[in-house]
Amino acid sequence: MIRCDDVTKTFRKNGAEVVSLDRFTAEIAEGEFVAVRGPSGSGKTTLLLTLGGMQRPSAGAVQFGGRDLYGLPSAERARLRSGEIGFVFQMFHLVPYLDLLGNVLLAAPGRPSDAERERAAGLLDELGLAKRASHRPGELSAGERQRLAVARALLNRPKLILADEPTGNLDPENAAEVIRHLAAFHRDGGTVVLVTHGTAADEHAGRIVRLEQGRLVAD
């Protein structure tokens, strides 16, 4: 599904060049649940954003479904992100002035259809948020916010979910709940790439990848 060939990403920080991802090469097959581990600054988030078409690598190539992801025009890449990839972030990144339903429907590619509204309501129900559909994210607990972010990621029935430390701000109970939902998505045939420090996802992840200083050190 995704293939990375010698993907390198460098940044300039305080005048010095920092290598965030160093000749990363790997392939992720459709239906895999991959946990990406590594210390802070090891390039995990960079890898996730690069896989999601959000950050062009300095060198190397990323193939998504056989297409050169960064060879696509940006509008085409945006369409691909919208239709086939779902993101879940540690900081939730919810829109504070939209209610829960509005936040989930934000993922709809255009003006939400009745079917999309129905699916959004169904997802909120599935994730235990139906009663709070008209609330705003600021009124939710951290666990509820992350479940909302998961619902948003699932709206368009993506093939891939990229989750960046989704349990980093959650207590163990809520963390397990979020992982359960990602595992359910995986069971239904979806692909998950999960960046994590913890071990909560170990029982679901079929593959664990370890990064250090931007390099793949274990797979």
Contacting positions for other proteins (CB under 8 A): 45-46, 49, 52, 54-55, 75, 78-83, 87, 89-91, 93-98, 102, 105-107, 109, 111-112, 152, 164
Cβ-Cβ contacts under 8 Å for 206 (sequence gap 6 or more): 32, 33, 34
The sheet carrying 67-68 orders its strands as 16-28, 2-13, 59-64, 67-68
Using the minimum distance from each CB to other proteins, give the nearer residue, 49 or 205: 49
- Please report how close the Cβ of residue 203 comes to other proteins at its closest, in angstroms: 26
Using the minimum distance from each CB to other proteins, give the nearer residue, 93 or 210: 93
Q: What is the DSSP letter of 73?
A: -
Q: Which residue type is seen at 53?
A: G
Give the span between the Cα atoms of 102 and 97, in whole angstroms.
Answer: 9
| Segments of 38-119 assigned E as strands | 59-64, 67-68, 85-89
- Please report how close the Cβ of residue 153 comes to other proteins at its closest, in angstroms: 9
Encoded tokens for 77: 């890449």
Using the minimum distance from each CB to other proteins, give the nearer residue, 52 or 143: 52
For residue 196, give the nearest of 92, 89, 93, 86 by alpha carbon.
89
Half-sphere exposure of 113 (CA within 13 A, CB side): 6
Encoded tokens for 192: 């998950």
- Please report how close the Cβ of residue 14 comes to other proteins at its closest, in angstroms: 16
Using the minimum distance from each CB to other proteins, give the nearer residue, 135 or 207: 135
Using the minimum distance from each CB to other proteins, give the nearer residue, 93 or 132: 93
Encoded tokens for 62: 């990323």
- Please report how close the Cβ of residue 104 comes to other proteins at its closest, in angstroms: 11
Using the minimum distance from each CB to other proteins, give the nearer residue, 29 or 95: 95
Q: Which residue type is seen at 210?
A: R
- Please report how close the Cβ of residue 87 comes to other proteins at its closest, in angstroms: 5
Q: What is the DSSP string of 3-30?
A: EEEEEEEEEEETTEEEEEEEEEEEEE-T
